[in-house]
Structure 1
Amino acid sequence: MAPSTHFKLNNGTQIPAVGLGTWRSEPGQVRQAVSFALKNGYSHIDAALIYGNEHEVGQGIKDSGVPREKIFITSKLWNTHQNNVAEGLQKTLEALGTDYLDLYLIHWPVRLVPNESSALLPVNPDGTRSVDRSWDQNETWRQMEEVYKAGKVNAIGVANWSIPYLEELKKKWTVVPAVNQVELHPFLPQHALKDWCDKNGILLEAYSPLGSEGAPLMANPAIQEIAKKNDVSAAAVLISYHVNRGVVVLPKSIKESRIVSNSQIISLSSEDMDVLNGLAAQGKAKRINTPLFGWDLGFEDWYKQ
């Protein structure tokens, strides 16, 4: 059976199974990448205020000529706007040149307090992050529910949330998060988190599906063997892995050939999936994205800081 091209969110919204990631896309390059992707079969763009390139993403969307209603646009509320979701959302809407989002996520379960050091990545005099440890994430979610009910966004969710944080949110949510976007790949499959989200109707999305720069995923012998058996690249295996397990995948590239190949999902056998799902348990576990917010964010494998 062919892999799914779309998944259904818990509010009935359809989301394309593959989206173009824009994290770490350099200025001057992301505009062309977004335009090319939309002209060549993509209909899902993943953005965020903190990436610093939403204006160019918006230009790329406009350049593509694809009607807005045919594009699924995701963005994320940055940490310094957790006390004013409407303001953070407005900044994103203006940068992207749209009056609504298809999906809006709380980027991290962390509130940063802006100060004279920075509006987005503030630090204290001792160099530590300017974190509000007393902030209640339920208040941020309440405001997310408000912009959702006002029609500014078609769905709301979270990113980088572990089970303990989701359990706390569950105590007070009235709208169940539609999505949890987290780092996912065979070296970080997060099986327990996926089970929890599945049981609560939350769809997982995978960022860094190739393990990001410097990760040993692409050269792993087991992954290479699966690629050879299926006559595809290791990247195709790693991207297809997510769609085959019912997860949205967000590969990032600015190279036209890669953008095209990243969208070509193949079916993987149950044997292949068993191998991929078991790699982390064989001592291969590795997390790539570990921002220094100053405390454990509740993931089972999270490196203590």
Structure 2
Amino acid sequence: MAHEIPTAELAPGVALPVVGFGTWQITGTSAYESTRTALDVGYRHIDTATMYGNEAEIGRALRDSGLDRSDVFITTKLPPSQAGRERQTIEASLKALGVDYVDLWLIHWPPSRGKSLPTWVSFLEQRDAGRARSLGVSNYDAQLIDELIRETGETPVVNQVSWSPSEHDPKFLDEMRERRIVVEGYSSLKNTRLDDPRLVAIAAAHDATVPQVVLRWQLHHDIVIIPKSTRESRMRENLAVLGFELTADEIAAIDAV
């Protein structure tokens, strides 16, 4: 499956698989076992964060998988509380993960007023030092991003935000596309009424599940998906969204949800 997952180019030589494995709220033995399983069934993009408390387990799963480091795209994130401690935080993440670099490092939430820009400057320094291959943000609006661009000339390559049919915001997507920023969507299933009759009907038309339809809908909008699960069957089901396409009318109907 791994070679069949399309990618989004973030920077020269940095390709982000558009289907990733999310690890929020998965900790301890479960984090290790789930990540091992995800890698075994074909995921090559693992999303974690300092505040998730599972980087060490993910690192062990990566080592035990037998895969080359270069074959797996790893994202982690800096908590806003660690603004001013960027180098210490990324070094701790790298040590926990057991790697020399991460492929994508995000500012998890905008730090308190006045700290976003200094944090971004420090991010650029850590990237240039080789600790991260690409940099982005999470939960930022266009105004906050424009401040970073204006002051440094460097644009975040990714903005990871909560996304679901009920949160669909074409204006926001247009703003990100204008800045050539890839949008990643999280909590898409958590924030969706999975019994919505419109979604149920579309799922039935494709012999798919409602979660698959929601994830496929995101991909049609060029939104990277990072669903999480501790069950192998659900992991495979989430990867299988690459196997069908929604019609334009179906996409519009989900937009309206």
Please tell me the TM-score bracket, short chain as reference. over 0.9
Secondary structure of 2:151 counterpart: coil
Computing the radius of gyration from Cα coordinates, the structure with the larger value is 1
Which amino acid in the other structure matches residue 97 of structure 1? G
Q: TM-score of the superposition, structure 2-length normalised? A: 0.94
Shift of 1:27: 2.3
| CA–CA separation in structure 2 for the residues paired with 1:227 and 1:54 | 35
| TM norm structure 1 | 0.79
1:164 deviates by 2.4
The aligned amino acid for 2:151 is: K
| Structure 2 runs not aligned, ≥5 long | none
Give runs of aligned pairs for residues 108-123 of structure 1, distance below 5 A: 108-111=109-112
The correspondence for 1:199, drawn from 178, 190, 214, is 178
Output one character per residue of 1:16-41: Cα deviation in whole Å (capped at 9) or x when no partner. Answer: 01000000114221101101111111
Q: 1:276 aligns with which of 222, 230, 254?
A: 254
Q: Which runs of 4+ in 1 moved over 4 A?
A: none
Q: CA RMSD in A?
A: 1.5
Q: Deviations over 1:257-280 (max 9, x none)?
A: 11111111231111111111121x
CA contact (8 A) 1:11 1:178 kept: no
Equivalent residue for 1:141, pick from 86, 99, 120: 120
Alignment partner of 1:165 out of 144, 157, 160 = 144
Greater mean deviation of Cα atoms: 196-205 or 63-72: 63-72
| Paired residues of 1:77 and 1:105 also in contact (CA < 8 A) | yes
In the alignment, is the contact (CA less than 8 A) between 2:11 and 2:134 conserved in 1?
no
- 2:30 corresponds in structure 1 to 29
The residue number in structure 2 matching 1:57 is 58
For 2:107, the equivalent position in structure 1 comes to 106
Higher helix share: 2
1:219 maps to 2:219 = no
Shift of 1:81: 1.7
Deviations 1:103-150 (Å, cap 9, x if unpaired)?
000000024xxxxxxxxxxxxxxxxxxxxx4x3311111111111122
- 1:8 is matched with which residue? 9
Q: How many pairs are equivalent?
A: 252
Q: State the SS of the aligned residue for 1:42.
A: coil
Map residues 127-138 of structure 1 onto 2, 5 A cutoff: 133=113, 135-138=114-117
Q: What is aligned with 1:228?
A: 204
Letter in 1 for 2:246: L
